[in-house]
Amino acid sequence: MARFLVTGGAGFIGSNFVHYTVEHTGAHVTVLDKLTYAGSRASLAGLPEDRVTFVQGDVCDGELVDGLVADADAVIHYAAESHNDNSLRDPRPFLDTNVIGTYTLLEAVRRHDARYHHISTDEVYGDLELDDPARFTETTPYNPSSPYSSTKGASDLLVRAWARSFGIRATISNCSNNYGPRQHVEKFIPRQITNVLDGMRAKLYGTGENVRDWIHADDHSSAVLAVLERGRIGETYLIGADGELSNREVLRRILLSMGCDEDDFDHVTDRPGHDLRYAIDSSRLRSELGWEPAYRDFDAGLEATIAWYRENEGWWRPQKAQTEADYRRQGQ
Ligand code: NAD
Ligand code: TDX
């Protein structure tokens, strides 16, 4: 039985990967998660105890990390400070977790010769004009805009350096915006859904013309498994599902689906340095590894996500008041 160490496995995408792995493989998963404001044990509820072990701890803790990596065949590194708006308020935790945490894991991987997969984001490439026919590819130069994306870019470069200089067996994937169940209410889609459920107005930054390239978290997980199983060592794979939509359009669909008027929202202060558009060309992943997304109908995936938040108020309620208080302080 393969032994996976999944960092950040109590977060949105990491927990999706743990559920997906238990369902689709025979691997045993050890989750290492600090349980910051973004992590929740409830996201791992219902998983069989003989398949998943939970360890609460920090990826920057060298001794803890060394012991866990020594027992793993493969390390899949999701743990990160993940929210752009938080990185504009207080960048320091992003440097600690995203840069030093990755360095700590890489050193342990080097000592124990574990297979390493690094989870990253399309935001490392900066942004595109709305009318640019180009999309991001594996050779697009890095040009990150925010403290979040610059620390993710830094962590990717550490992985490349450790692969080249020390020969670690590493792959990297850079994925576009994920949606689905168990996403923190600070993020765009869950924030709007839970605002409507709470009788508050939805909040759109700036004009809302900004475009994001949406992918269901299950499709991100299936792509990561494909890279782990069949990816070329040393390679980077972009993960995306051709899901470009403007924020204004996503919000319109949420509002109409929840029985609101499409104008039932407030324009709020824009995010400083707000990236205009992300778009992923995932040809390499599809042609080399034969991966295809299972969720081709964004509206159906969005409906299911809205239903999940309706049915799981107990999961998101503890996060909501503090998140909105933080946004209010910034006029958002
Ligand atoms: P998230 O904020 O929901 O979860 C992050 C998890 O990491 C939490 O459980 C948190 O407790 C844990 N964590 C934070 N600091 C830690 C530390 N020092 N030690 C151990 N655990 C720690 O984030 P997410 O949206 O699930 O993102 C997961 C990964 O995927 C990140 O690396 C992110 O950059 C990447 N990514 C996210 C998206 C997206 O759309 N959300 C897209 C592409 C890539
Ligand atoms: O209330 C809001 N109103 C709004 O208009 C919020 C919270 C966001 N937005 C806009 C900002 C973005 O253009 O919606 C878009 C999506 O925002 P976020 O959910 O914060 O995501 P984004 O900044 O695009 O980054 C996400 O995708 C890439 C993840 O948070 C990152 O971790 C990932 O790397």
In a domain, 265, yes or no: no
Task: Kindly report the CATH number assigned to the domain that includes residue 150.
Answer: 3.40.50.720
- Tally of residues, the chain: 332
Span from the CA of 84 to the centroid of ligand 2 (angstroms)? 7
Contact 117, 228 (CB under 8 A): yes
The verdict on the CB of residue 97 being under 6 Å from ligand 2 is: no
Ligand 1 contact, 277 CB (< 6 A) = no
Please tell me the predicted confidence (pLDDT) of residue 60.
99
CA angle 38, 328, 196 (to 5 degrees): 75
Verify whether ligand 2 is closer than 6 Å to residue 188 (CB atom).
Answer: yes
Q: How many A from CA of 332 to the centre of ligand 1?
A: 22
Give the domain extent around 157.
Answer: 3-178+214-239
- Spans of the chain below 50 pLDDT: none
Question: Distance, CA 200 to ligand 2 centroid (Å)?
Answer: 19
Give the pLDDT score at 1: 77
Tell me how many domains the chain contains.
1
Q: Ligand 2 centroid vs 116 CA: distance in angstroms? A: 27
Residue 227 lies in a domain: yes
CA-proximal residue: ligand 2, atom 3 (nearest): 204
Does 203 map to a domain? Answer: no
Say if ligand 1 is within 6 A of residue 240 CB.
no
Ligand with minimal distance to 189 CA: 2
State CA 158 to chain mean position distance: 19
Per-residue pLDDT at 104: 99
Count CA atoms within 13 Å of residue 37 on its CB side: 16
User: Is 267 inside any structural domain?
Assistant: no
Does the Cβ of 20 fall within 6 Å of ligand 2?
no
Q: Is 277 in the pocket of ligand 2 (CB under 6 A)?
A: no
Specify if 255 maps to a domain: no
Question: Of all atoms in ligand 1, which is nearest to the CA of residue 77?
Answer: 32
Token pair listed for 28: 């045993």
Of 217, 229, 239, residue with least CA distance to 73: 229
Q: Give the closest residue (by CA) to ligand 2 atom 8.
A: 188
This prediction has a pTM of: 0.98
- Whether residue 76 has its Cβ less than 6 Å from ligand 1: no
Helix (H, G, I), strand (E, B) or coil at 239: strand
**Dist. CA 264–CA 244, nearest whole Å:** 23
Q: Which ligand is nearest to the CA of 156?
A: 1
Q: How far is the CA of 80 from the centre of ligand 1 (A)?
A: 4
The answer to whether position 309 is within a domain reads: no
Q: Is residue 21 part of a domain?
A: yes
pLDDT of 4 reads: 98
What are the tens digits of pLDDT across the range 108-122? 999 999 999 999 999
- H or E element that contains 75: strand 74-77
Q: Which residues are catalytic?
A: 122-123, 148
Does residue 266 sit within a domain? Answer: no
